[in-house]
């Protein structure tokens, strides 16, 4: 069993600064500086997979949708699937055509690491966090989001080794009968676009409903992520009772609090899960329970170092 230290991305980004003359500093310059700092922090922590950091994702997990020309920022909305709980709801007013934003972000760092990991919001989560003013049917809307994400992922640089698909709404707003199967189909569409990297669907905020979990396993993905901070017992039950993919991601570090657990504690949580499930996992992605957007910078660095140390072989 290989243990890989990584994160689900969305590392903390500062509020767009003021240049002292009444106008904001160009966002691209701010993004570049924060991206450099994020890459350096991950390298220093010896993470096995490195994310671009999503410094330009000012709208959090919904950013790839909001950045589209046919999507507007709507009113403030609340969801536990969003790091800070509050976000600007995307309003889709036209067709979700390819725009290349995800690929462009990753291309900016592709030659700076040999272990690049892409981060993308899942199609089900985006469909629950957005408003449809164009497609007119929930199933068609979700399928359109999945096709949009698939096109974006198909254009990723070859350097990408892993793709984390973030699906917190599978727990925060679980799909009901019929909708759970459609959510799995949408995730499968996204995963099918990735041909040369492992696809991890990371869920967090609790444990998956049994039926939702079963349908998720029907998608052609390489790993499912389980939040051991929010609900370790039910996560172990799901895997022990119903199985999972060949590999797994375990959220063993708490990204929602400034407290940082010791590397030994993170290792013990992985060992605990391994002892209580019958699977012989090919890879365990050792990661945080959720995205890291709310951590202060000093705690971010400490959290990354703990994750890196947790997968270092012990003598």
Q: Give the residue, 54 or 13, on which the prediction is more confident.
A: 54
User: What does the pLDDT average to over 88-107?
Assistant: 96
Q: Is residue 315 part of a domain?
A: no
* 91, pLDDT greater than 50: yes
User: What does the pLDDT average to over 156-180?
Assistant: 97
* Domain span including residue 74: 2-13+25-310
Comparing 29-43, 132-146, 263-277, 278-292, the range with the smallest average pLDDT is: 29-43
Residue 18 is predicted with a pLDDT of 40
Q: What is the pLDDT of residues 130-167, one digit of tens each?
A: 999 999 999 999 999 999 999 999 999 999 999 999 99
* 31, pLDDT greater than 90: no
Residue 297: which pLDDT band, with cuts at 50, 70 and 90? Answer: confident
Residue 26: which pLDDT band, with cuts at 50, 70 and 90? Answer: very low
φ, ψ for residue 294, nearest 5 deg: -95, 0
User: What does the pLDDT average to over 56-63?
Assistant: 91
Q: Is residue 82 part of a domain?
A: yes
Q: Is residue 264 part of a domain?
A: yes
CATH number of 209's domain? 3.20.20.210
Q: Is residue 154 part of a domain?
A: yes
Q: Provide the whole-model pTM.
A: 0.94
* 118, pLDDT greater than 50: yes
CA distance 175 to 239: 20
Q: Is residue 209 part of a domain?
A: yes
Return the percentage of the chain with pLDDT > 70, whole number: 94
Q: What is the pLDDT of residues 194-251, one digit of tens each?
A: 999 999 999 999 999 999 999 999 999 999 999 999 999 999 999 999 999 999 999 9
Residue 29 is predicted with a pLDDT of 58
| Exposure string over 4-37, b if 16+ CB within 10 A, otherwise e | bbbbbbbbbbeeeeeeeeeeeeeeeebbeebbeb
Q: Is residue 294 part of a domain?
A: yes
* 23, pLDDT greater than 50: no
Q: Is residue 18 part of a domain?
A: no
Contacts of 110 (CB under 8 A, 6+ apart): 116, 157, 158, 159, 160
- Chain-centroid distance of CA 103 in Å reads 16
Residue 30 is predicted with a pLDDT of 61
Q: What is the pLDDT of residues 62-71, one digit of tens each?
A: 999 999 999 9
Residue 19 is predicted with a pLDDT of 39
Residue 58: which pLDDT band, with cuts at 50, 70 and 90? Answer: confident
Residue 21 is predicted with a pLDDT of 40
- Looking at the 3D structure of the chain, how many domains does it have? 1
Q: Is residue 8 part of a domain?
A: yes
């Amino acid at each position: 069993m290989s243990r890989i230290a990584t994160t689900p991305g969305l590392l903390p980004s500062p509020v767009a600064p003021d240049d002292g003359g009444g106008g904001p500093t160009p966002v691209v310059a701010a993004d570049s500086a924060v991206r450099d700092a994020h890459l350096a922090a991950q390298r220093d922590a010896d993470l096995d997979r490195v994310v671009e950091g999503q410094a330009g994702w000012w709208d959090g997990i919904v950013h790839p949708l909001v950045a589209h020309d046919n999507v507007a920022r709507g009113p403030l909305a609340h969801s536990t699937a969003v790091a800070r709980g509050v976000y600007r709801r995307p309003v889709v007013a036209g067709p979700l055509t390819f725009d290349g934003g995800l690929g462009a972000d990753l291309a900016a760092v592709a030659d700076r690491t040999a272990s690049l990991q892409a981060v993308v919001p899942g199609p089900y989560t985006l469909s629950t966090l957005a408003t449809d003013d164009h497609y007119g049917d929930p199933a068609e809307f979700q399928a359109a989001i999945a096709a949009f994400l698939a096109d974006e992922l198909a254009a990723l640089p070859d350097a990408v080794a892993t793709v984390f698909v973030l699906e917190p709404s599978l727990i925060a707003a679980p799909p009901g009968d019929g909708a759970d199967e459609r959510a799995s189909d949408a995730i499968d569409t996204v995963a099918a676009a990735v041909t040369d990297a492992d696809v991890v669907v990371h869920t967090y905020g609790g444990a998956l409903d049994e039926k939702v979990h079963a349908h998720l396993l029907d998608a052609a993905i390489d790993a499912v992520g389980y939040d051991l901070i929010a609900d370790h017992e039910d996560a172990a039950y799901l895997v022990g009772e119903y199985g999972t993919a060949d590999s797994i991601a375990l959220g063993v570090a708490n990204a929602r609090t400034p407290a940082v657990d010791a590397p030994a504690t993170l290792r013990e949580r992985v060992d605990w899960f391994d002892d209580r499930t019958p699977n012989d996992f090919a890879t365990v992605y050792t990661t945080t329970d959720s995205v890291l957007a709310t951590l202060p910078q000093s705690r971010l660095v400490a959290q990354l170092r703990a994750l890196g140390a947790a997968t270092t072989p012990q003598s």
